[in-house]
Amino acid sequence: MDNEVNVSVIIKTSDMYDFLLHHAYRGFSGMIGIFLSFGAIVLLITGYGGDSQMQKALLLVIALLFTVINPIQLYMKAAKQVKLTPGFKLPLDYKLNNSGIQVSQGGEAYEKPWEEVRKVIETGKSIIIYMSNVGAYLLPKSSLVDHYEEVKNLINLHVDKKSSKLK
């Protein structure tokens, strides 16, 4: 097996939206938000939310908050971030090999060894490689078309199983 994969990635709004949705709803606070929204929906439907219009309006807002409003806000944030971030205008070229991950763009290159990978998560649309709590490499599956299995194999070969959540 040739242990080097080269992938060119242009981050689109849909890629960033998937990333933001993952962060908003995978954690404890996201689960609580969904639970509150569905609880408010149940109270609205069953009529236990009270008889006043103000109480019903408040329940409706809570019901829509995490199921409609927040996803719309996240999409708008993703679109703004992709549009305003200069780094998303040019392709990011990733080279994954046995020594680590190299990212280059516009003549600049950064290389990180596999030992610095904190965790790897696979969503329905992306593979996210976290290098720190706030820094991550986003590899949309649409950009990995011919290299998806090779990328997964390299990650599985070099990243501890406890840190990798690949499907």
DSSP 39-89: HHHHHHHHTTT-SSHHHHHHHHHHHHIIIIIHHHHHHHHHHHHHHH-GGGT
110: domain range?
4-10+87-165
**Boundary-marking domain end, from 64, 85, 106:** 85
pLDDT of residue 150: 92
H helix or E strand, kind and range, residue 21: helix 13-25
Same domain, yes or no: 94 and 143: yes
* Number of independent structural domains in the chain: 2
Regarding whether 95 and 81 lie in a shared domain, the answer is: no
Considering the domain architecture, whether residues 68 and 99 belong to the same structural domain is answered as no
Q: Which two tokens stand for residue 76?
A: 């708008």
52 and 96 together in one domain? no
Which domain CATH number covers 139? 2.30.29.30
Each residue's pLDDT, cut to its tens digit, for the chain (167 residues) gives: 458 999 999 999 999 999 999 989 988 889 999 999 999 999 888 887 667 888 888 999 999 999 999 999 999 999 999 999 988 989 999 999 999 999 999 889 999 999 999 999 999 899 999 998 878 999 999 999 889 999 999 999 999 888 888 88
- Closest-CA residue to 113 (of 122, 105, 101, 125): 101
Question: Domain check: are 93 and 66 in the same one?
Answer: no
Residue 70 has a pLDDT of 95
- Residue finishing a domain among 50, 85, 120: 85
Pairing of strands 4-9, 92-97: antiparallel
Say yes or no: 22 and 78 in one domain: yes
Please report the sign of the dihedral spanned by the C-alpha atoms of residue 30, residue 35, residue 39, residue 45: positive
Buried-state track 15-30, b at ≥16 Cβ within 10 A, e below 16: bbbbbbbbebbeeeeb
Taking 3-state DSSP, the helix, strand and coil percentages for the chain, each rounded to the nearest 5, stand at 50, 25, 25
At 1 the pLDDT is 46
pTM of the model: 0.86
pLDDT at residue 2, rounded to an integer: 57
Q: Supply the pLDDT for residue 156.
A: 92
Q: Say if residue 79 is in the same domain as residue 98.
A: no
120 and 95 in one domain?
Answer: yes
Tell me which of 85, 100, 125 is where a domain ends.
85
